[in-house]
Amino acid sequence: MTAPKRITIKATRFDPDKDEKPRLQSYEIPFGDESMVVLDALNYIKGHVDGSLSYRWSCRMGICGSCGMMVDGVPKLTCNAFLRDYWPRPITVEPLNNFPVIRDLVIDMGDFMEKLKSIKPWIIRKQPVPLGGGAFVQTTAQIDEFRQFSQCINCMLCYAACPVYGLNDEFLGPAAIALARRYNLDSRDEGVGRRLPVIADPEGVWECSFVGECSVVCPKGVDPAKAIQQTKLDTTMRFVLPFGNRD
């Protein structure tokens, strides 16, 4: 009988109470199912080899965005990185670039969450509609204006790929700007003026050098680079020509 295939996973290990710096630890595991993904490999290691390995995951369906890691140096959702695409080579799994590491493959998301909060990712109205006041009806064309930018799952892969954020963590960053764009384009929203001081700040859209890697690594097809460039144009035009009444 043919021996089952095996694959080596090199995972980052880091215990802040014991280690001065992260290190890689190798695990050789069976690989007999072509549908196995990197997250399956990590789950196998935790369940059968080393229960101390720490990482985040939830849905395993590319929806929650919590299992993002560096897979052979590329930001990926580990639930969507198939082992068959790497075998027989070893696979190196590391925490997302550009974030502090809490333990092993777990990063500190605090800075990212504060940036999301700063752009006020909700519908802002000058005069709130009272309960029973009716629905905000939108046409398909109006929804299409912002649909793409609403697909973001906050996986932070774009931040791990962004060289600007890697050099300057004050940069607002791709996902936050794309989400601000999503609400600024929403016909129901009147909060452009409240978001403008954040997105037009020197550490906002103007810090972006348009490398475009944020859009390349997005697992949901969102184009943060496009959102940033469009916002640069809108921000410029706002100071040159009347922008409208949605502020």
| Same domain, yes or no: 128 and 203 | yes
CATH number of the domain to which 114 belongs: 1.10.1060.10
Q: What is the pTM of this model?
A: 0.91
Q: Taken in order 77, 78, 84, 87, is the CA torsion positive or negative?
A: positive
In angstroms, rounded to a whole number, what is the distance separating the alpha carbons of residues 2 and 239?
70
3-state secondary structure of 122: coil
Residue 2 above 70 pLDDT?
A: no
Number of domains in the chain: 2
Q: Is residue 76 part of a domain?
A: yes
Q: Taken in order 157, 226, 181, 228, is the CA torsion positive or negative?
A: positive
Helix-helix angle 174-184:110-118, to 10 degrees? 20
3-state secondary structure of 19: coil
Q: Final residue of a domain: which of 60, 84, 107?
A: 107
181-240 pLDDT, tens per residue? 999 999 999 999 999 999 999 999 999 999 999 999 999 999 999 999 999 998 888 766
Domain limits for position 41: 6-107
**Beta strands at 91-94 and 6-13: parallel, antiparallel or unpaired:** parallel
In angstroms, rounded to a whole number, what is the distance separating the alpha carbons of residues 60 and 79?
5
Task: Say what the pLDDT of residue 243 is.
Answer: 46
Q: Is residue 1 part of a domain?
A: no
CATH number of the domain to which 101 belongs: 3.10.20.30
* 111 contact partners, CB below 8 Å, separation of at least 6: 99, 169
Our CA angle for 79, 85, 88, nearest 5°, is 115
In angstroms, rounded to a whole number, what is the distance separating the alpha carbons of residues 65 and 113?
14
Q: Is residue 54 part of a domain?
A: yes
Q: Final residue of a domain: which of 107, 130, 160?
A: 107
pLDDT bin (cut points 50, 70, 90) of residue 135 is confident
Q: Is residue 193 part of a domain?
A: yes
149-194 pLDDT, tens per residue? 999 999 999 999 999 999 999 999 999 999 999 999 999 999 999 9
Q: Final residue of a domain: which of 40, 75, 107?
A: 107
